[in-house]
Amino acid sequence: MTSTLRNLRAIAAIVLTLILTGATVQPAQAVTTIKLTDIYSSAKLTEVYLEIPPASEASLNNWPTLEKYVTAKVKFVQGSLESDQISIGMRLKGSTSLQPLKQKPSMRIKFNWGDALKGQRFLGLKNMTLNSMTQDTSWIHEFASYKLYNSVGVVAPSTGWAEVFVNGKSKGIYVNVETPDDIFLSKRFKDPTQHLYEGQAFADLKPGNDSGGEFDGKFTVDEGWAATPNKADLTALIAAANVEPGKAWWDGLAKYLDRTSMVRMFAVDNLLGNWDAYSGPIINNYYLRSNSSNKFTFIPWGVDQTFGENRETKVTLDTYTFAMDKPLVGYPWVQLSHKKDAIERGLLFTKCLAYKPCFTLYMQELRNASAKATAIKLPTLMVNAAKIFDPFANDDVRAEQKRNLVYLTAQQKKVAALIKLYKIK
């Protein structure tokens, strides 16, 4: 008897035993081989396959329901690495960039959506944000901006690249931005989080802006409301923020805010021309995270409109700049929206400019941010990252990528001139 025949008979005997004893043969289970470090790598491209049923697809193409979660499934593939197909909730996102699924919208995936998926995680994540970069012609702003924020010590998301497929059809290149939620906060902060607030455009730390509940008011609560259903910590910060600029303001602020991190964020905002930030005239795109001692930390968000790209005009490669040391500046659409050339910037930034110790620290952090951009070879990182998605790019995208590098060099020269002008040591 050959060894092959013996092996076949042995296998048959095992199967017969399983049948007779009532046992069942389970199918092989798919194994998730892809890792979180793969997904949030600037050197790799992840394919994201979304399977969206007809009812969900219809909802995501209906303007009144674009931002409402619907059921779907997703699978991640990166070369030979892949995940299982996972049931999820998903919705579309954006303010001025919001668009239906049939176009190229930004998306939010929730792995633990609804009762059926409660407790589900994907590689430890509850949420994932896929940005379509429709407000960034170069496709590199978010990667480069978050890289620099993190490099200077400001808590900010990590990013990765994704090609998103919807029911088998490619939507093109996306940036996968780490979502600020309780999972993110537990990784980036050593102390427990009390609240995570999301600031609304043009809403500042002014008296009365602490009103409302979890989902309404000028500051909505993304994390922490269940345990602490009030905004007392925000009330205390607003009170400290509205003291007249001076020693009492600066010293009092230290109790309720990480001042160093705040000023470092201001520095990167201005170096990268981020007018759509808290320190900009729109006072937008930021989170405020508090700990159990009511002390806050700023977290930047929505950094696609950086590096001086001027989307207000149809002129290719034109650049929009604003002064890094002035309390009033403009932004590309300021004449359209406000009928003036400049408007006031974020309250804490303007007060920082008015109080010499804070202004000096800001200038020093501007110099440090510029030096850090050079030290980490940010232009080289940008060029190398762009190679990952170059097959999706066209000549306009590549030209804007080059303009970004010219802009950064020009901004660094302006920083050096400011340091000399104000005789900063």
Global pTM reads: 0.91
Mean pLDDT of the chain, nearest integer: 92
Q: Are residues 210 and 276 in the same domain?
A: yes
State both tokens at 299.
């977290």
Q: What is the reported pLDDT for 409?
A: 98
Domain boundary, last residue among 152, 182, 212:
182
The pLDDT value recorded for residue 44 is 95
For residue 3, what pLDDT is reported? 41
pLDDT digits (tens, 9 = 90+) for 27-48: 333 457 899 999 999 999 999 9
> Of 115, 148, 182, which marks where a domain is finished?
182
Parallel, antiparallel, or unpaired: how do β-strands 343-344 and 219-223 relate? unpaired
Buried (b) or exposed (e) across 82-110, using 16+ Cβ within 10 A? Answer: bbeebbbbbbbbbeebebebeebbbbbbb
274 with 156, same domain? no
Range of the domain at 172: 36-182
Last-in-domain residue among 182, 203, 226: 182
Is residue 272 included in any domain, yes or no? yes
Please tell me the predicted confidence (pLDDT) of residue 7.
42
Strand positions, DSSP E, 6-105? 45-51, 70-78, 81-82, 86-93
Can you list the residues of the chain whose pLDDT is less than 70?
1-31
Element (H, E) at 221: strand 219-223
Q: What is the pLDDT, as a whole number, of residue 273?
A: 97
Q: How far is the CA of 405 from the CAs of 154, 160, 276, in angstroms?
A: 22, 20, 20
**Do 206 and 331 have their domain in common?**
yes
